[in-house]
């Protein structure tokens, strides 16, 4: 079967998406990707009893069920017959496999996650050839409180046994799962209230948070502003079972220690304790005082867009700064770059900033290293990518820099976001009224920010151009940055994955085929990662 005018519109749209994602109909199931699923998730807790009952109803039939989580992974598989179980095993459709359209093309679970609508996919409507022997019906599972999609319940059979009468059975099962999700939320709210009441007996400011619910005691109401509460909610998304502790500067200018702890027996509930401090918090990332005058070589490292060039200029203080970039070496040639560097060294004044030491040809790295080794003026400030990524001569050169600053990516600077936004708005020449409403700040805090501060500035430029009177609201943001649906804070290993993918895409000019080859993964895996890790800038 090929894309034809006779296809139903939702199926035709799905086939187009699969084609754009580079899915091969013949070999898609030969490149399946697997990952661990959270068997203790709210979805699993709510669905397991319902699916057990459904399995009893369908026992010894030619039907099977798949529970797929919001990331497109099969969380549970049940088969009515041993033959169906063997067929799924042969196809590789097992717990942990990705059923996203980017991985296997048109199929009920993957297409439901893409469209958020229930759908039946019959036989040859499947994009992947091996799936065309089956018919499947998928129904989305929404959380009744947040309205976020939690997953998909799918029922599958051989194409010749398709029965539309089973659709109400699936819908009933989904309704039962959603009811159990709602009941679980009520239990979580009760546990959160008990924990909040127990903690509020102290004089410390206490805030309790769960989904869209926020409770504050009187001390917290007197101490915290709306921006503070938004920031605390973003921090609460990061909290694990061991909790976290941070020092922050509140909206009022008061420095405070914030301690966030998970509330047991809740689904994501957190208690936040806020204690004002006598001393101000030192700004994050400032590992070297920028006001001091130094003479030795310095290194400013970090991902592109983290503010490396600005920070390097601040290291120079009042001294004149001359910047030589790796791009100039590429455009003008090594000889011209070398001549300019030698001329600056002979002048012996100010600060020479070498931007992109890790991208320079080796002979130019050696030239810079020869001057650094003398310890003579002018001072050299090097700019590079993350230190752990440096190799060869560049790595050897930066090892001579005892004065180092590595700037964190914006995605790791949630606590700094209000200050960074305020600074960027001031740099854009905005008046005092151009602050972000808490909802807009929360939306920005949920973004992955592969472009770091550069991307943030572009977003804010768009927002202040389109805003009316008063603060910047969610509606003023670019459309792609307005939604927090499904947003979550990435675990450290996911952040490392995302950073590696972004670096590969940058290196290959956004070419996904070349980036996938450089990463040693298939193109379908890369597309799945782009969706899972919310990399939207490429």
Q: Could you give the C-alpha distances from 359 to 325, 390, 502, 517, in angstroms and in order?
A: 9, 10, 17, 21
Indicate whether 422 pLDDT > 80.
Answer: yes
Give me the helix-helix angle, 438-445 and 226-236, nearest 10°.
20
pLDDT tens digits for 11-44?
Answer: 999 999 999 888 999 999 988 888 888 887 889 9
pLDDT tens digits for 167-193?
Answer: 899 999 999 999 999 888 888 888 888
Indicate whether 199 pLDDT > 80.
Answer: yes
How far apart CA 414 and CA 231 sit, in angstroms, is 8
Question: What does the pLDDT read at residue 188?
Answer: 84
pTM tops 0.95: no
- Cα 300 to the center of its chain, rounded Å: 25
CB crowding 100-128: b at 16 or more within 10 Å, else e: bbbbbbbbbbbbbbbbeebbbbbbebbbb
How far apart CA 406 and CA 408 sit, in angstroms, is 6
Residue 78: strand pairing partners: 65
How far apart CA 328 and CA 337 sit, in angstroms, is 7
What torsion, rounded to 10 degrees, do the Cα atoms 358, 363, 364, 365 define?
Answer: 40
**Higher per-residue pLDDT: 504 or 49:** 49
Domains and CATH numbers, the chain: 9-183 (3.30.450.40), 200-276 (3.30.450), 298-407 (3.40.50.300), 410-481 (1.10.8.60), 492-532 (1.10.10.60)
Compute the average pLDDT of residues 373-391. 90
pLDDT tens digits for 47-79?
Answer: 999 999 999 989 888 999 999 999 999 999 999
pLDDT tens digits for 214-250?
Answer: 889 988 888 888 778 888 888 887 666 678 888 888 8
């Amino acid at each position: 079967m090929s894309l034809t005018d006779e296809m139903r519109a939702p199926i035709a749209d799905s086939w187009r998406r699969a084609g754009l994602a580079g899915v091969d109909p013949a070999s898609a199931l030969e490149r399946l990707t697997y990952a661990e699923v959270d068997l203790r998730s709210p979805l699993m807790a709510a669905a397991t009893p319902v699916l057990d009952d459904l399995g009893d109803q369908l026992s010894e039939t030619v039907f099977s069920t798949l529970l797929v989580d919001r990331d497109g992974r099969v969380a549970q598989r049940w088969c009515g017959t041993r033959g169906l179980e063997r067929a799924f095993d042969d196809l590789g459709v097992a717990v942990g496999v990705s059923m996203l359209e980017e991985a296997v093309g048109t199929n009920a679970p993957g297409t439901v996650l893409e469209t958020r609508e229930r759908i039946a996919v019959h036989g040859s409507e499947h994009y992947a050839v091996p799936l065309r022997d089956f018919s499947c019906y998928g129904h989305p599972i929404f959380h009744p409180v947040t309205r976020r999609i939690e997953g998909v319940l799918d029922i599958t059979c051989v194409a010749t046994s398709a029965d539309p009468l089973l659709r109400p059975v699936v819908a009933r099962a989904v309704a039962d799962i959603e009811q159990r999700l709602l009941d679980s939320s009520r239990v979580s709210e009760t546990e959160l209230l008990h924990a909040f009441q127990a903690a509020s007996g102290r004089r410390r400011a206490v805030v309790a948070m769960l989904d869209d619910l926020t409770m504050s005691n009187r001390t917290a109401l007197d101490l915290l502003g709306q921006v503070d509460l938004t920031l605390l909610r973003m921090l609460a998304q990061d909290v694990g079972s061991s909790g976290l502790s941070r020092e922050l500067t509140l909206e009022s200018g008061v420095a405070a220690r914030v301690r966030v702890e998970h509330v047991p027996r809740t689904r994501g509930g957190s208690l936040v304790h806020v204690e004002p401090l006598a001393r101000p918090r030192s700004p994050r990332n400032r590992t070297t005082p920028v006001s001091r005058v130094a003479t030795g070589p310095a290194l400013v490292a970090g991902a592109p867009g983290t503010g490396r060039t600005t920070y390097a200029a601040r290291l120079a203080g009042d001294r004149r700064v001359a910047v030589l970039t790796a791009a100039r070496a590429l455009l003008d040639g090594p000889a011209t770059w070398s001549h300019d560097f030698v001329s600056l060294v002979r002048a012996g004044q100010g600060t020479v900033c070498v931007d992109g030491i890790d991208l320079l040809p080796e002979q130019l790295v050696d030239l810079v290293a020869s001057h650094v080794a003398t310890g003579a003026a002018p001072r050299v400030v090097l700019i590079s990518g993350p230190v752990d990524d440096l190799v060869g001569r560049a790595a050897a050169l930066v090892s001579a820099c005892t004065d180092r600053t590595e700037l964190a990516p914006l995605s790791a600077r949630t606590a700094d976001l209000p200050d960074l936004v305020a600074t960027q708005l001031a740099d854009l020449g905005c008046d005092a009224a151009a602050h972000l409403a808490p909802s807009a700040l929360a939306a920005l805090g949920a973004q992955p920010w592969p472009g770091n501060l550069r991307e943030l500035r572009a977003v804010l430029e768009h927002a202040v151009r389109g805003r009316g009177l008063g603060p910047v609201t969610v509606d003023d943001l670019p459309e792609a940055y307005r939604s927090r649906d499904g947003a979550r804070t990435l675990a450290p290993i996911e952040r490392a994955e995302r950073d590696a993918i972004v670096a590969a895409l940058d290196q290959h000019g956004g070419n996904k085929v070349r980036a996938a080859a450089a990463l040693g993964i298939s193109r379908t895996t890369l597309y799945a990662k782009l969706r899972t890790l919310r990399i939207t800038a490429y």
